[in-house]
Structure 1
């Protein structure tokens, strides 16, 4: 009975006593991450297997058929536990593989760390290889000789450099270092997490936040240690079953070592996960394809050539181009060049004089651009000169009455037209909470010339898991700006010269009992402002708790003139976003904003509106609930960059329970 009591104390101590004062034992056990839950289940299974062995008296002449039956029962229990481990491994296989591959890629130049990773891989492979051998014994449990199992057991627990016990100690030492040099920042797991966080390409490749990456690595290690633990428990059972000794103290020491190692690892994991970033965003694609991985606001502010004589109702040329900072195209004097180009029917801003005479290369008729490039007689070129498919047009200024020069001005046209896609959806977009679905991903999508924030939704399962088979992109509302009962300012927002700012925010909650179930834009002053809807849920069951009653919209209400004032991001002489030869990087932070502006006059003849819109899927792998989301800007100096959504994965840190040693 003393032996069985010790096992019970181990299980209770390992899973029910934590650094903080715990809730009732059952709640503590269940309110943990999947891998820790599996460890608990397997440990309880081992306790039940020991019940079978405990009935056996340690005598050499015990009846052989009875021994065979107990052997068969023990191996059957082990088979059930092995199946649990295999199912968990399969569940996380892809995530672990991506994490390990990432380590190999971004750490390839760090010889010391790669040497440690090679040692870890070698050690884990040895443990897994022996575990597979034990699984073969499980498959042939009715045909095995007792000597085969005894030999395997003795080999497993022997106090030498080849035993499973030694391999587990070695794995722990490589990962965390010596116990007397305890440090939660100077260890392999912390270094890998920090380096991964700094390697933006890897985050985009794995689609895992830094916290998910750390947990994926831990999962692989924890399951390997669990395999070793099962093998040692099995070995002590077999040796006791076949009368090789009592082994009570040996098994107890083994459990104490396993408990101590696991407790130390979980303590470190909790701290590393607490510090790890949970933001996920998309890198630039290898090739930009409009309509597939990016899109544009078009003809919001666009370079436009107009003669001064057409910028006033009197058809005079008494001023200079700089005089006209806010005007319209009023006439088309004598049907000159004004009659040969699409007229700007909106307002004209910031006119300036470049040179008197020029050659204009018009864009194709179906393009949102007006000009491909403009070449002035003084040699200055606006845009990128290339072959002109439609042929260039000579445009010359002229003198009137020898006193007034009727100059062609270069202005910015703000024109609402069929070629101007400048609309953002203001309607709520929410997940199907009635079917326990939550937001798991985001992307911008242009539909009917309106930009929408489309959500990916998935069914939430116990302990923060998402049912992969349920993942879908919620269909976008199919409305158009000219539909009956659709209004500007209520259903959609129209960008204009006076209202073209978008706020860059991270909207999240620090209350870990809430997850994102909706998203929308609203108008605050003249800014597009993001809001997220958060609903309460139960981590253990994965169920939303009365989502209609226990939910709320959250936003950042600061403006550029009130509260904690927002800072503006200025794009300096931006070229088209897709012309960069290096990948964009995030350059904005929370509580900022950016204006949609025209591209630089020299680089692009001011023909495009930047930033462009990144329309790639922003999702995590594995899919998880979200604690928050945001809008950010990424780019490079001299380019317009991209606006894009980002997501914040759920914080699993509170569910990493750290055990205490029993006194």
Structure 2
């Protein structure tokens, strides 16, 4: 391999850098043909007049293997992007009868890719033992590769082509092979491109005939990419571990890598046969290249047509089981149902008003605490809002959970607030009373007590960043709660060329803990303490401009609203290198007070605990809106919980990839408080699919020429 680098360095400079720039799955032929031509035309000076190449360079066949080994290393790096694609393609059809045809198609595709990959793994093995392998083994391998057997490498390449670009395959067959003829003067080497072995020329002719036959097979099915798009429309996207566009791009990479492997082995086979003086094979080399370019261009064109319109969003659906601290976290006691007698809300200790009068009040004391209800339970030391009267008599079921006061309240008139299940805690009877001609009523209010030891109402404003100095990008996000504070945590990984990520570097970044009792941490700067007046959070989709990736995320305060921001950093797509010093934050500064296109509120009606629903939540918000944290419904839950909850599942596509945006959204259903979820926007790789028009060729075995 070292000698191969020495051979290539005068021609390519730094070989590894050059290969990273050359080989790209978004290019026609993945850029591989340029490298093959360097090897074939420059290093080995292949030409029709040089039929004795094998004797011109010592150990030429071993050096040839080493040159292809360099290319294999680069191709293996690109394969990072297709990990898990096959499983995701299969999972789409799980449990859906309408997708049986899709499942059959995936099986066929895997059969063709497996055929190519089986040969390729042998090829990789030969590269490792190139100094010990016998000439006979190499020749046997080469002849197997160029075989026109129905299960050969070329056959699999053609079948993949017709599956992924069926219309183009039909057109190409008519255009490229309409005048394929076997020459009558086959015994004259000069008229058959100096191919010295008539048997070899006949084998190549038979191979071309087979290509025509395979490629001409009628196909009533749409392309593989169109079929995947249609399948995604009716399938359960929760089965995916990546965005639809990422999966579609993964399918293209899967096919492109298989085609590239097939082409590499074909070219290696022609060259190794020539090295061992089995023939000249210049025509074979040229036709193989043109076929591969045709296939690659048509497949790339069809893939880009579908991929460009595919969704780049990836988020998590509801889990099969909700587990607090694992699949969700929640704020507690922000506004909580609370029973208070009006005498304790009156500044003068009178009962001259009614419950509705107390829309914003405080608990001023506890009247005769030895015998009254206020002396038997934890008091609200904050403010009381939106009080209402239900009935004079009630039975209050106290909860055993620290962040709930009550499980239910049943009034004498039959009104029930909360659960209808038998009380598992203590029940206290509460009766209103008369003082002279005034009725001292028990009211049901909302308590906002920021000093309560059991309230969790804090959101971190500390940025969560990737290590851009070490070329790390954000590859995942999740909500987490630590020490009463809800944080956004990020996963990071080292950016590689062309949207890839070094999977061995992927890890979650520890969140910076917020110390609520330390003077070093300030409300409004390091964290936000929510209250009745300030409890809104903005729902936004933030997307970076072209050639930028996400390297950080945080909340900030925009007026009284918690507002999302992301840090973005310029990136070089070809090299994968970041420009950290050019990083900056972006956000949506729209507010409800704007005179035009003001931010609208998402209102959830009669919200209940979202973990009690059997049917999964659905995304029901749109960007540029906001939602208020508030209590669950009084009738359903006695207003004991704070909704929405936060979906704490990891949002990290596999395989890891670059992000160009992040969205904060709400998902729920009728009667549910729902969840706040994070959605990542994967990098748009379709922008880097370089569809070009290469020369179209007609193949006539008597006279190979380009139009």
Shorter-chain TM-score category? 0.7 to 0.9
Q: Does 1:554 align with 2:554?
A: no
Separation in structure 2 between the aligned mates of residue 516 and residue 83 of structure 1, nearest angstrom: 29
Other structure's SS at 1:109 match: helix
Q: Which residue of 2 aligns with 1:383?
A: 418
Change (3 A) 1:314 1:284: same
Q: Does 1:227 align with 2:261?
A: yes
Q: Which residue of 2 aligns with 1:337?
A: 373
Q: Does 1:405 align with 2:439?
A: yes
Q: Per-residue CA shift, 1:269-290, capped at 9, x if unaligned?
A: 2333321222221222232222
Q: Which residue of 2 aligns with 1:656?
A: 689
Q: Is the 8 A contact 2:26 2:300 kept in 1?
A: no
Moved more, 454-463 or 558-567: 454-463
Choose the corresponding residue for 1:178, options 142, 147, 167. 167
Change (3 A) 1:629 1:397: same
1:555 Cα offset (Å): 0.8
Separation in structure 2 between the aligned mates of residue 186 and residue 567 of structure 1, nearest angstrom: 42
Q: Is the 8 A contact 2:28 2:297 kept in 1?
A: no
Separation in structure 2 between the aligned mates of residue 71 and residue 496 of structure 1, nearest angstrom: 76
Moved more, 26-35 or 245-254: 26-35
Q: Is the 8 A contact 1:67 1:242 kept in 2?
A: no
Separation in structure 2 between the aligned mates of residue 200 and residue 587 of structure 1, nearest angstrom: 17
Q: Which residue of 2 aligns with 1:351?
A: 387
1:49 Cα offset (Å): 5.3
Separation in structure 2 between the aligned mates of residue 386 and residue 42 of structure 1, nearest angstrom: 72
Change (3 A) 1:544 1:251: closer
Q: Is the 8 A contact 2:470 2:494 kept in 1?
A: yes
Other structure's SS at 1:393 match: strand
Q: Is the 8 A contact 2:396 2:410 kept in 1?
A: yes
Choose the corresponding residue for 2:360, options 308, 318, 326. 326
Long gaps (5+) in structure 1: 1-11, 13-25
Q: Is the 8 A contact 1:438 1:517 kept in 2?
A: yes
1:591 Cα offset (Å): 0.4
Moved more, 103-112 or 638-647: 103-112
Q: Is the 8 A contact 2:146 2:154 kept in 1?
A: yes
Separation in structure 1 between the aligned mates of residue 303 and residue 53 of structure 2, nearest angstrom: 49
1:452 Cα offset (Å): 1.9
Q: Per-residue CA shift, 1:53-96, capped at 9, x if unaligned?
A: 9489788xx8999999555554554455455545654x346333
Q: Which residue of 1 aligns with 2:316?
A: 282
Other structure's SS at 1:360 match: strand
Q: Does 1:105 align with 2:137?
A: no
Q: Is the 8 A contact 1:382 1:604 kept in 2?
A: yes
Other structure's SS at 1:502 match: strand
1:526 Cα offset (Å): 1.9
1:123 Cα offset (Å): 2.0
Q: Is the 8 A contact 1:75 1:141 kept in 2?
A: no
Q: Which residue of 1 aligns with 2:525?
A: 490
Q: Which residue of 2 aligns with 1:608?
A: 641
TM-score, normalised with respect to structure 2: 0.80
Q: Does 1:40 align with 2:76?
A: no
Other structure's SS at 2:691 match: coil
Q: Per-residue CA shift, 1:552-611, capped at 9, x if unaligned?
A: 221111111204211211111111121111222221111011011110111111100100
Q: Is the 8 A contact 2:85 2:250 kept in 1?
A: yes
Q: Is the 8 A contact 1:444 1:613 kept in 2?
A: yes
Q: Where in structure 2 are the equivalents of 1:379-528 lying within 5 Å?
A: 379-401=414-436, 403-416=437-450, 417-509=452-544, 511-528=545-562
Q: Does 1:94 align with 2:83?
A: yes
Choose the corresponding residue for 2:21, options 1, 21, 30. 30
Choose the corresponding residue for 2:297, options 263, 266, 270. 263
Q: Which residue of 2 aligns with 1:123?
A: 112
Moved more, 137-146 or 308-317: 137-146
Q: Is the 8 A contact 1:359 1:393 kept in 2?
A: yes
1:411 Cα offset (Å): 1.0
Q: Which residue of 2 aligns with 1:631?
A: 664
Separation in structure 2 between the aligned mates of residue 154 and residue 67 of structure 1, nearest angstrom: 22
Q: Is the 8 A contact 1:460 1:542 kept in 2?
A: yes
Q: Is the 8 A contact 1:304 1:410 kept in 2?
A: yes
Other structure's SS at 2:84 match: helix
Q: Which residue of 1 aligns with 2:156?
A: 167
Change (3 A) 1:121 1:353: same
Other structure's SS at 1:275 match: coil
Separation in structure 1 between the aligned mates of residue 399 and residue 64 of structure 2, nearest angstrom: 79
Q: Where in structure 2 are the equivalents of 1:563-574 lying within 5 Å?
A: 563-574=596-607
Q: Is the 8 A contact 1:33 1:652 kept in 2?
A: no
Separation in structure 2 between the aligned mates of residue 134 and residue 215 of structure 1, nearest angstrom: 26
Choose the corresponding residue for 1:360, options 396, 402, 405. 396
Aligned length in residues:
628
Change (3 A) 1:161 1:466: closer
Separation in structure 1 between the aligned mates of residue 55 and residue 577 of structure 2, nearest angstrom: 50
Q: Which residue of 1 aligns with 2:5?
A: none
1:240 Cα offset (Å): 4.1
Separation in structure 1 between the aligned mates of residue 65 and residue 557 of structure 2, nearest angstrom: 65
Other structure's SS at 2:350 match: coil
Q: Is the 8 A contact 1:280 1:620 kept in 2?
A: yes
Q: Per-residue CA shift, 1:477-509, capped at 9, x if unaligned?
A: 233222114322222222111111100001112
Q: Which residue of 1 aligns with 2:576?
A: 542
Separation in structure 2 between the aligned mates of residue 427 and residue 58 of structure 1, nearest angstrom: 68
Q: Per-residue CA shift, 1:145-181, capped at 9, x if unaligned?
A: 65x7666655544556444333322211112222278
Other structure's SS at 2:353 match: coil
Other structure's SS at 1:560 match: coil
Change (3 A) 1:42 1:136: farther
Separation in structure 2 between the aligned mates of residue 32 and residue 57 of structure 1, nearest angstrom: 30
Other structure's SS at 2:491 match: strand
TM-score, normalised with respect to structure 1: 0.85
